[in-house]
Structure 1
Amino acid sequence: MKLTRYTDYALRALIYLAGHEGGRVSIRQIAEAHGISQNNLMKIIQDLGAAGFVRTTRGRYGGLSLARPAADITIGQVVRHTEGDSRIVDCSTCRIAEGCSLPDVFSEAREAFMTVLDKCRLSDAARTPDAFRHLFVA
């Protein structure tokens, strides 16, 4: 299964925030660290905030932080949120869909994929922030 760029950027932003857990960062910092457009990232952050993954604080000491501990967020939760109920293949217009067993196979494969992602926590993905923190020097 190939994930969308939206999901890729959401995961990058969350990993960045997990690497700075306990502090606040700006959208600009994340965008510059990953070479992502601030406008695109702003939409993603708003969505992640509405979904309860990110806390946004306005004002002089404001910024972004995780809304809950990185250990409480699974990669599966994030992917389900950003990808929705995406199917591996859209069989809705296929002439043989009624008698074909591939939709069930693809559904089972997607669930197996998501089961693996549910085992990985954001804290696991960002467990060695020092290993990549030098890449994010602003």
Structure 2
Amino acid sequence: MRLTFHTDYGLRVLMALAVLDDRLVTIEELATRHRVSKNHLMKVVQTLVGLGLVKSVRGRRGGLALAKSPDTIRMGDAIRALEEDVALVSCLGSGQVDCVLSGACRLTGALRGAVDAFFAELDRLTLADLVANRPAMRRKLEVV
């Protein structure tokens, strides 16, 4: 399983905002620090704002900040909200199944268990857990 770039960048934005919680952070600053396209990051931030995870302040002194405390943002929930489809194979999804073995093999159950274990692990973690090493993270973000 591989997370989409949208989710990957979304998690990076959340972590950066959690570490840089002393001020508003611009999309341009985040794009530069993470070496990603500003246009793509704008779409990611728009999603995060829509999910209520990030707040956006307009204007000359505007920017982004977390909309919730980092210790209330569960990583499993964030990834479920950011990912459009977490089904590893079609028989785990909600759409039409195109496998002739569907319902007869044990792969579906094994993969469902794997996805459940994946999210169970992520549900244990909060954003605060991910940024617990704040000094090192601030250095990585080139903030001293």
1:22–1:65: 8 Å Cα contact kept in structure 2? no
In structure 1, what residue type is equivalent to 2:46?
Q
Please, which moves more after superposition, 67-76 or 88-97? Answer: 88-97
Deviation of 1:86 (Å) = 1.8
Comparing 14-23 with 82-91, greater Cα deviation is found at 82-91
2:105 alignment counterpart: 100
Q: Secondary structure at the match of 1:98?
A: coil
1:91-130 equivalence runs, <5 A: 91=91, 92-130=97-135
Between the aligned residues of both structures, percent identity stands at 37
Structure 2 partner of 1:72 = 72
Matches within 5 A, 1:23-62: 23-62=23-62
Q: Could you tell me the TM-score, scaled by structure 1's length?
A: 0.93
Report 1 or 2 for greater relative contact order, CA contacts < 8 Å, sequence distance ≥ 6. Answer: 1
- Residue aligned with 1:55, SS: strand
Shift of 1:136: 2.2
Amino acid at match of 1:52: G
Letter in 2 for 1:114: F
Q: Flag the structure with higher helix content.
A: 1
Cα-Cα RMSD: 1.4
The CA deviation string for residues 101-122 of structure 1, in whole angstroms up to 9 with x for no partner, is: 2112211211111010011110
2:103 match: secondary structure: helix
Find the aligned partners of 1:22 and 1:106 in 2 and give their Cα distance. 42
For the Cα contact (< 8 Å) 1:25–1:65, is it kept in 2? yes
Residue-pair matches, total? 138
Q: Gapped runs of 5+ residues in structure 1?
A: none
Runs of 4 or more, structure 1, over 2 Å off, are 134-138
Structure 1 residue 85, shift from structure 2 partner: 4.3
Counterpart residue type for residue 127 of structure 2: L
The gaps in structure 2 that reach 5 residues or longer are 92-96
- 1:134 paired with 2:139, answer yes
